[in-house]
Each structure stands twice: as structure tokens, then as C-alpha cells.
Structure 1
Amino acid sequence: MPPDPAPPLATIAAALRHERQRVGLSLTELARRAGIAKSTLSQLESGTGNPSVETLWALGVALDVPFSRLVEPPVAAVRVIRAGDGPRIRSEHADFSGTLLAAGAAHARRDVYLIELEPGRVRSAAAHTPRSVEHLVVGAGRLRCGPEHEQVELGPGDYATFPGDAPHHYEALEPGTFAVLIMEHP
């Protein structure tokens, strides 16, 4: 028997199983809806996979749940995440990682992330759940972000908001770029 997976893999595995069973989907059906291989989903549910941001977003959309519900462990009343800690999930297509800082309550469906980007490849995000909205505040560096045909350039302290339910992009324009991203889900 393999050893128990380490967080965040254990958290992701338990959340995927729970959400898939909650909506009554088979492994095969959820994999089909998310556009991933059944073997990949099986590995993720057993805690042996290595999920990318793109895979987890696709699963969240297929399950109609925010990304945070798949990666957020149960929280204590007082919680501190030290710089560099937290469940960091990397993109497979760009030098981009996201760390969930706080998941919204079930009635609020608002999640807070710290995203870190480096120049190079663009992080392209598929549409999230309908009526999702993204709010972004840049902490350091410069980045270009937004829907495919309405991208804006932002620097330290700049804020932008845009629909998250349409394909959108993030591109670091300087090394060491990071931002706080707040995702609202209806």
C-alpha cells in the first residue's frame, strides 16, 4: 500500500473525491467533462498525481465549484500563511504559480490568491464558472492581463477587474512579478 500523500496532494485527492461523489459523477464522466484522461483523474483522487493549475481549473469548472474548493484544507479560526508557504500550484504552460491564501465562505464564494509570474510564456486561462469576476492588485513588477482582446498593463499598486468567465491571460513583463488575485464566483 502506498504511503499517504502529503498536503496539498492529500487535500486535492479528498476534495476531488468528495465533490465528484457529491454531484454523482463517475470517474469516466468527470474526466470527459474536464477534458482530461481518466487515468489522470484516478491518480489525482488517489493522491499520486501531480496536478497543474490548468487541470484543477478544468475539474473545478466541470464540477461547478471554485478552484479553491479543490486545494483548500480545512481552516482554523486564526490562520497565518508565511511568505513562501502555502499550497503553491504551478502552471504547466508558463512560469506562473498560484497560492490560495483564503477561500470564500460557501455563501460568498470569494477566493484570495497570491500569484507569482516570471517573463517568458504567457499563462492562458480558460473560462471559469459563469459570472466569475477577477480582481487583481499588483504587488511588484509589471504584468499584462485580462480577456484576450482587452488586456491591460499594470504596475505596482495598480488594480484591474475583468470577467473570469471568458478566456484570459497573464503575462509577466518584469522578473519577480507578483499580485494578489481575488476570484468572485456567483
Structure 2
Amino acid sequence: MTPPIDVIARSLVRERARTGLSLAEIARRAGVAKSTLSQLEAGNGNPSLETLWSLCVALGIPFARLFEPQAAQTQVIRRGEGTKVVAEQANYQAILLATCPPGARRDIYLLMAEPGADRVSHPHPPGSVEHIIITQGRALVGLTEAPEELHQGDYICYPADREHVFRALEPATQALLVAEQN
């Protein structure tokens, strides 16, 4: 069984990412020290009811959501969509596609594929997640029962502990794959 602080930590990270707000801003809104929130997101500490309640108010979520482990699900972000952060002094912007849960391992791969046979992957260990960004071409990607057609610049995230597929739809299709295991 997962310790409660681990579930709380993942929930805090997930919900803060959902809001698009910084750790410092959530801490300020909740009236807690930034270091306290950082420790809680790392799965350390023994937070009081008051601290957790304040964080829920700052995040705009019901208290019970902190104790609900979220099942991995497919997420697609099309090129140019998502929460953007823009630099003031440079022509530079960043779009957060995914956060890494505390204690997770991430491996990064460059995929190069040609149309033809599908790459069907059997389920990986429980809790595995894959993130893919198409960098060139088009592909059908995701869970075998519900793959998504992705174009250059599109992002998908799906639970890799279920059967999944990658099918190149154009010659010289390339993608960046980030494989994550807890």
C-alpha cells in the first residue's frame, strides 16, 4: 500500500501543475513556507490538517482530492496549445507538457520510424507512463484501443502499463519518447 504522504505528494504536484502556478505562488496563497510545500511535494514531512486545508483552498480543490491517487490517462496537447510562459527579455516561450512525479525514473529516446508494421508494445510495469512529441512526420500513437493521430509538434501522454502502439503514417517520422517509471 502506498504511504499517505506519497499520495499527498503526487496529488500536490499534479494539482499545482494543473493550475500552472509556481510553487512560490501556491505557497504564498496558502500562507505556508515555500520550503514546506517543496518538502511535501517531495514526499517528506508530516503536514497538519490546517496546512493541507490551506493548500487545497489555494489550489481550488476539495480536500479529499489530496488522498485520491489519480489513474494514468491519455493526454494530448496539440502544437501551440498548452499553458505558455513567455520571457520578458527574449523571444522565448515554454509550454509545460508534463511534470515528473517524485521518485520517478525517466529515460529519453529518439524514435525513427517508417510506415509499415505497427510497433505494438506489451504493457510495461504498473505505473509506467510514456510521453511522446512528434518532431517530424505523422504517427498514430497511444493505447491500442484508442490511438491518436499526431502531427509534428503534437504531444501525447498515456499509461504504458497497458498495450500501446506507434504507427508511422509518413516516411522519416521521428519522435521524442520519454519513458517514466515510478
TM-score (norm 1): 0.42
User: Rg bigger for which structure?
Assistant: 2
TM-score (norm 2): 0.43
